[in-house]
């Protein structure tokens, strides 16, 4: 006998479970099928565990301020990893409780769609179930990529998932890939005393981020004793006694780097193979991303897709927002546009941004004005000893509408929320500057940056601009 439901949600991550809850609230019967654990990559192997380890590493680093090369931290790593696991397990149970509390159903297993209205689930405990549905949402997420010669084996060569569950802190680690994931994880282990070496193929780390925003991070990597090789390629690795040796081609010639673990962090790809999508006529791009419209509907009129499966940016909050759009579309409710997707990088210092960069705004035809406020001029930043970085605002020179904004500095990920609202609501520089921000706080930097863009900063000296012309 088959299971009958209104909506089948394939994937229980931040896209899938949010879609399920919203659909249940809108009166639909929903079955969530996940191949592993509720919460997806984000909760179990990515966002949450990495931030937990970042917090542990930060606390240990601040308490000891070890010099580069001082040796591996004496932090009780086993307890840290156990605490992380307990926290993740608790969140997973909470997600299950939310779905069940809203009268939804959950099935653990691998689903494949066999027709526009049926799917087969190979249950994790054995056996299969046939599911009949009216609509389906594909929310299967993404997986780590590897590179030739560096297949992820979980013992010597690690993906991000394996690196966050190590039994002990390695004495040395080579990170292949100087993007967001590589630098976040590399920073964790550098703060815990590992000798970290980053090998990046492009000419800069964090290559998709504006250079001025990334500079404070690059400087701090050097302070942590991290060696960074850009315009470089990891060619091979081999065992060297009880350790490993990575051979890398760099602009200075071949380097042989001895380490204990190798982290491959060269990007991610959608996990869309084996779902039966092509047989249904669901259109995919050359990279395996599912093509969707603004309502997250695929080329098959009852199949929706959200999150990493539809393309970058691979961010949990993007997936959650798309989940709501898909649910509202299925329920026949009016939709708001998805809007700008903010991002945050949990390096040291953190970086965040929402909206258009100055370069992007100019490419779209805007005449821009930019304001900056350094955290070195912030009383709160000075008080807590975290003064690296700044807030940056990009606005339309004629209307003063804020087009984009971001932070490099302490708690940048927490500060971006106000900027998100400002960009989405078409707020002006004057409106933010006129809004009282509590003192002393880090988010005063946003108002100060807006004042700077207007040409009259309060706590920094004005930067002279050629022929300024501001609308009254």
Give every residue of the chain whose pLDDT is below 50, as ranges.
466-472
pLDDT at 337: 87
Structural tokens at position 324: 């709501």
334: left (phi over 0), alpha (psi -120 to 50) or beta: beta
**Distance (Å, rounded) from C-alpha 337 to C-alpha 328?**
12
**Distance (Å, rounded) from C-alpha 457 to C-alpha 321?**
36
Buried b (16+ CB within 10 A) or exposed e, 212-239: ebbebbbebbeebbbebbbebebeebee
Could you count the other beta carbons within 10 Å of the beta carbon of residue 39? 27
Estimate to the nearest angstrom the gap between the alpha carbon of 35 and the chain centroid: 22
Reference 117, options 280, 240, 345; nearest CA is: 280
**Distance (Å, rounded) from C-alpha 445 to C-alpha 439?**
10
Q: What is the pTM of this model?
A: 0.93
Distances (CA, A) of 161 to 55, 293, 370: 17, 31, 39
Distances (CA, A) of 315 to 60, 64, 132, 360, 459: 28, 33, 30, 21, 35
pLDDT at 470: 42
Catalytically active residues are 439
Reference 325, options 137, 142, 118; nearest CA is: 137
Collapsed DSSP state (helix, strand, coil) of residue 246: strand
Residue 342 and residue 418 in contact, taking contact as beta carbons nearer than 8 Å: no
pLDDT at 461: 83
Distances (CA, A) of 111 to 9, 35, 131, 330: 10, 7, 9, 20
pLDDT (tens digit per residue) in 382-394? 999 999 999 999 9
Could you count the other beta carbons within 10 Å of the beta carbon of residue 326? 30
Could you count the other beta carbons within 10 Å of the beta carbon of residue 33? 24
CA Rg, the chain, in Å? 24
pLDDT at 462: 75
Reference 431, options 439, 443, 422; nearest CA is: 422
Complete domains list, the chain, with CATH: 3-144+269-330 (3.50.50.60), 157-266 (3.50.50.60), 349-454 (3.30.390.30)
**Distance (Å, rounded) from C-alpha 216 to C-alpha 373?**
14
Could you count the other beta carbons within 10 Å of the beta carbon of residue 143? 17
Reference 401, options 352, 450, 329; nearest CA is: 450
Structural tokens at position 374: 């350094």
**Distance (Å, rounded) from C-alpha 371 to C-alpha 367?**
14
Exposed/middle/buried for 323, CB within 10 Å: 0-12, 13-18, 19+? buried
Helix, strand, coil percentages in the chain from 3-state DSSP, rounded to 5? 35, 30, 40
């Amino acid at each position: 006998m088959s299971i009958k439901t209104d909506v089948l949600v394939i994937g229980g991550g931040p896209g899938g479970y949010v879609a399920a809850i919203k659909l249940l609230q809108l009166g639909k019967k929903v079955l969530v099928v996940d191949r592993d654990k509720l919460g997806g990559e984000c909760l179990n192997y990515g966002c949450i565990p990495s931030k937990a380890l970042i917090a542990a590493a930060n606390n240990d680093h601040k308490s000891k301020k070890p010099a580069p090369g001082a040796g591996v931290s004496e932090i009780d790593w086993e307890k840290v990893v156990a605490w992380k696991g307990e926290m993740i397990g608790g969140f997973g149970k909470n997600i299950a409780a939310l779905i069940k509390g809203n009268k939804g159903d959950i099935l653990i297993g691998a689903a494949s769609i066999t027709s526009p209205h049926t799917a087969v689930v190979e249950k994790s405990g054995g056996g299969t179930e046939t599911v009949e549905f009216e609509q389906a949402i594909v929310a299967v997420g993404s997986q780590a990529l590897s590179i030739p010669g560096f297949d992820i084996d979980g013992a010597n060569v690690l993906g991000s998932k394996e690196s966050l569950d190590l039994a002990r802190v390695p004495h040395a680690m080579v990170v292949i890939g100087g993007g967001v994931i590589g630098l976040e994880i590399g920073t964790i282990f550098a703060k815990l005393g590992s000798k970290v070496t980053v090998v990046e193929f492009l000419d800069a780390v964090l290559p998709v981020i504006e250079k001025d925003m990334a500079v404070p991070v690059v400087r701090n990597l050097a302070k942590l004793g991290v060696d960074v090789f850009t315009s470089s390629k990891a060619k091979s690795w081999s065992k060297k006694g009880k350790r490993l040796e990575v051979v890398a081609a760099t602009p200075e010639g071949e380097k042989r780097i001895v380490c204990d673990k190798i982290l491959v962090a060269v990007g991610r790809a959608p996990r869309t193979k084996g779902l039966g999508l092509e047989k249904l006529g669901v259109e995919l791009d050359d990279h395996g991303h599912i093509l969707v419209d603004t309502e997250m509907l695929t080329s098959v009129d009852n199949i929706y897709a959200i999150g990493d499966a539809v393309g970058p940016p691979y961010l949990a909050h993007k997936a959650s927002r798309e989940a709501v759009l898909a649910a509202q579309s299925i329920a026949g409710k009016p939709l708001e546009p998805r809007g700008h997707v903010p991002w945050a990088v949990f390096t040291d210092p953190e970086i965040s941004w929402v909206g258009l960069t100055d370069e992007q705004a100019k490419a779209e035809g805007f005449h821009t004005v930019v304001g900056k406020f350094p955290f070195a001029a912030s009383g709160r930043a000075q008080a807590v000893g975290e003064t690296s970085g700044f807030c940056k605002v990009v606005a339309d020179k004629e209307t003063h509408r804020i087009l984009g904004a971001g932070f490099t500095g302490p708690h940048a990920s927490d500060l971006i929320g106000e900027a998100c609202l400002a960009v989405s609501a078409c707020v002006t520089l004057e409106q933010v500057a006129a809004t009282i921000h509590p003192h002393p706080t880090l988010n005063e930097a946003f108002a100060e940056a807006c004042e700077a863009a207007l040409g009259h900063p309060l706590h920094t000296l004005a930067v002279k601009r050629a022929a300024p012309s501001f609308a009254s």
